[in-house]
Amino acid sequence: VPLLGCGAALSLIYRDSRKIKGLGIALFGFGLLVFGLDLMKDSVSGLSDVFDLATLKGQPAWVYLLAGMALAAIMQSSSAVMMITLSLLYSDVVTLVDAAALVIGADLGTTSTTVLGSIGSSLVKKQLAFAHVFFNFVVDLAAFILLLPLLPMYLDFLAIEDPMFGLVAFHSTFNLIGVLVFVPALKQYTNWIQRVLTEEPDATAKYFEVPVEVADAALDSLKSALAELNRQAIELHMQELDITPRQLKLDGIELLSEDDGDVSFEARYESLKEFESDLIHYSDRLRHTDINVEQAQQINQIVDSARSVVYASKTLQDIRKDFSELNSAAVNPLARELAQAHHDYLLSFYNYLVPVMLAPHERDYVFERCDVMHDINTTHHQHANNLVTRHLASTDTDLPRVSTWFNLNHELHHYSRYMIAALRAAVD
């Protein structure tokens, strides 16, 4: 409750200070979390009265182990089960060995809290939850199988006669042994966890996990998402247009794969659209938070840039068949000359586009590059149309095919305009 009060006071009194207000919101959220946990524990505290552990008297140790797991999972607190067990031990309701089995089970059952918290979370959170559960499982299983039978001898060795003190000592000992065993192999353990739980199929989800209430961090994550969207789009376009990184002057940029032929254009395009959709939904959530005018403008720029990139991808998808037809008709002089003209143009265009799109630059520099790309795009469009027109006047070229090539020139021109628009929107 004090945390709730302090957090609310800071966020209200210092509403004009983003840092102090953010600290207040963080304190309020943490206080709300602790308050909620207390309410949950209090709401199930009566279960210990309903579930009479005395009825388990005479049962084997594994029954007490399961009972401890169930109680801790329901009450979400191994410490609460420990207090219940100490009370039962003090009242001679259970033996020391049975009590030890109970606390071992409680130690394992409390991992349910971590598991529940990892549901629907990022890969890292799931890996942490798995690491926690596996650690407790190994340590608690070893304690039950190896240490529990030796408990009387262990207490005699330590000269502990008080059973309650002996239970606490046993609980602390097997957890300490577990830590001492795992810590030296922590790096190997971490690597194993990462191999067991590999990268999620949707690797872009990480960009949209930052709480939108933390506007600065969310906006940075949104910018990173746009950069990744651009990278994926560039790779997709270059693969389809038969352009390799070796053909470009990338000025040290090593973000492009040589080939990803195992995945079809259609599949990668659909993935790109899903990425854009997630970006737009996250942007919309961010707009509804307490952001200033400048941040709202940046969000709009990011969304406009992303949509232009996807529009360009859609345009490229629409003319894939036209490009294929042009290349297959290479025996035709016009087709051969037009295909070469398009290829030379795209190499020139991408030598300007890729370094600017995949690396940060000043606004004026980006606009200068965009002007150059606009000029070469306009020049190439006119040149390509002139090629078709000249050949049409001098030969009996098939009219349907000529129509296709005019359409290809037109759509390639618009594809380039969309990519230029994406650059301008990102820095405008």
Q: What is the DSSP string of 122-153?
A: -HHHHHHHHHHHHHHHHHHHHIIIIIGGGHHH
Comparing 17-21, 107-111, 162-166, 191-195, the range with the smallest average pLDDT is 17-21
- Mean per-residue pLDDT of the chain: 84
Q: What is the pLDDT of residue 201?
A: 54
Tokens encoding 333? 């002089």
Which residues in 374-398 are b (16+ Cβ under 10 Å) and which e? eeebeebbeebeebbeebeeeeebe
- Structure confidence at residue 372 (pLDDT): 95
Task: Say if residue 409 is exposed, middle or buried (CB neighbours under 10 Å; 0-12, 13-18, 19+).
Answer: buried
Select the more confidently predicted residue: 245 or 268. Answer: 268
Average pLDDT rounded to a whole number, residues 398-423: 87
Chain Cα centroid distance, residue 6: 32
pLDDT at 258: 46
Determine phi and psi for 380, rounding to 5 degrees: -65, -40
Phi, psi (degrees; rounded to nearest 5) at 93: -75, -35
pLDDT digits (tens, 9 = 90+) for 310-321: 999 999 999 988
Token pair in block for residue 135: 């650690």
Going by C-alpha positions, the residue among 188, 275, 268 that lies closest to residue 225 is 275
CA distance 252 to 244: 15
Long-range contacts of 186-195 (CB under 8 A, 24+ apart): 189/131, 190/131, 193/127, 193/130, 193/131, 193/134, 194/127
pLDDT at 7 over 90: no
Distance, in Å, from the CA atom of 7 to the CA atom of 30, rounded to the nearest integer, reads 9
Report the alpha-carbon distance of residue 243 to residue 276 in Å, rounded.
24
Nearest Cα to Cα of residue 427 among 311, 300, 277: 300
Whether residue 397 is predicted with pLDDT greater than 60 in this model: the reply is no
Q: What is the pLDDT of residues 133-161, one digit of tens each?
A: 999 999 999 999 988 888 888 888 888 88
- Kindly indicate the confidence band of residue 259, based on its pLDDT and cuts at 50, 70 and 90: very low
Most confident of 41-45, 70-74, 330-334: 70-74
Q: Which of 64, 175, 151 is nearest to 160 (CA)?
A: 151
Residue 360 has pLDDT above 70, yes or no: yes
Tokens of 334: 């016009």
Higher pLDDT among residues 126 and 233, named by residue: 233
pLDDT at residue 413, as a whole number: 96
Q: Which of 28-42, 70-84, 164-178, 369-383 has the highest mean pLDDT?
A: 369-383
Q: Residues 197-252: pLDDT tens digits? A: 776 556 688 888 888 988 999 999 999 999 999 999 999 999 888 888 888 877 66
